[in-house]
Chains A and B, each alone.
Chain A
């Protein structure tokens, strides 16, 4: 069975600084997708960034980037120039490629941003 592990229940970062959230996963599949979702107090799950496992290049979206290490099954999220609006719960998620795959979430990391 696939599992996703986020080992940092809480993280804190100073505004304008950089923070890295960790995520590891376990799967026997070779073709899958990885995602980072953000859930602010407004409750909506917002897709931050995604990575296709067959792509070696790390995904980037503005201030957000990932370090995808397929062999190590590691998928960390780096947030640069942290802003107050980045404060939220961050969930790492895995999905097997295919119509029957389902999104599997880690337990989440609560990120606080200090002014």
Chain B
């Protein structure tokens, strides 16, 4: 299995809702990432998990809450989002410690906040 799987593919939520995005990989990668991507822009780093521990939080608002229950699974919990949070949310994982092979990305979750 050489994929990163993200669910759901599309999500529409109200500003008072609570929802979660899920990311799964079975490649044995021990670093996992959440990125936010607006239309026609490059991905922006949100969170980095290394060996199931949060190592980087790029000053992301607390309405985004990441979780890494085990080495294969990464969640992003969403609560009280704003319309400007509408974007494509990408998950990625990295093989090895030095990143020589780059990152493997999922297909993303298209989030719309109404």
Please list the residues of chain A having a beta carbon within 8 angstroms of any beta carbon in chain B: 33, 35, 37, 42-47, 50, 52, 89, 91, 93, 95, 97-103, 105-108, 110
B30 to chain A, nearest CB (A): 10
Question: Known: A33-B99, A97-B98, A97-B99. Is A102-B40 also a contact (CB below 8 A)?
Answer: no
Contact in complex: B105, A44 (CB < 8 Å): yes
A-B contact pairs, 21 of them (CB 8 A): A33-B102, A35-B102, A43-B107, A43-B110, A44-B106, A44-B107, A45-B43, A45-B92, A45-B103, A45-B105, A47-B102, A91-B42, A95-B99, A99-B50, A102-B48, A103-B92, A103-B103, A105-B42, A108-B41, A108-B42, A110-B40
A45 to B3, CA, bound (A): 12
Q: Which of A45, A47, A99, A100 has the most CB of B within 10 A?
A: A45
Contact in complex: B100, A102 (CB < 8 Å): no
Total A-B residue pairs with C-beta atoms closer than 8 Å?
66
Interface flag for B56 (CB, 8 Å): yes
Q: Which of A33, A42, A43, A47 has the most CB of B within 10 A?
A: A43
Please list the residues of chain B having a beta carbon within 8 angstroms of any beta carbon in chain A: 31, 40-43, 45, 48, 50, 55-56, 88, 90, 92, 97-108, 110
Question: Known: A99-B50, A103-B103. Is A44-B108 also a contact (CB below 8 A)?
Answer: yes
Contact in complex: A98, B98 (CB < 8 Å): yes
Contact of B100 among A42, A50, A106 (CB under 8 A): A50
Contacts of B99 in A (CB 8 A): 33, 95, 97-98, 101, 103
